Amino acid sequence: MTGLGDVELEPGHSSKTKDGLNNYVMVHHAGPRRTGAVAYLVPGSGLVHLRLPRDAANGREYAEAKTGKDDHAYQVKIRLVHEEALDEAVEMTALALALVVKGEW
C-alpha cells in the first residue's frame, strides 16, 4: 500500500481491548484529514473495505458493491482471494485516495 504515495497506515483502535487495538488496519491520506480512512484492511477475513460508491465495483472482477445504507461511505469490498484480487484492491485504493484528495467522496 505504501506504493500509493501519500498514505499512512494506522492500526485500528478499540476501547474494548486491553491493548486498545482492533483487528484491522486503516489506510489514510497522509495530508490533512478531512475524511475517514480510504480503506480498512481486515487481515483475519482477507477483506478490504473501500471508501467508494457502489458503482465503482461495476465491471470489476473481485470488487463487490456492499448492501446497506446509501449514506455509508464504505460501499465496496474486495476479498483478497489471490494475487489478482490484491492488484485490484490496490488499484481501487488508489481511486479512493484520489476521490478523497479531490473532496469528491
What pTM did the predictor assign? 0.87
**Backbone dihedral region for residue 79 (phi beyond 0: left; psi -120 to 50: alpha; all else: beta):** beta
Reply yes or no on whether the pLDDT at 35 is more than 70. Answer: yes
Give the confidence band of 103 by pLDDT, cuts at 50, 70, 90: confident
Contact at 8 Å (CB) between 100 and 51?
yes
- Cα separation, 33 vs 101, in Å, equals 9
The stretch 86-97 carries a mean pLDDT of 94
- Cα separation, 97 vs 30, in Å, equals 10
Q: Cell for 99?
A: 476521490
Kindly report the average pLDDT of the chain as a whole number: 90
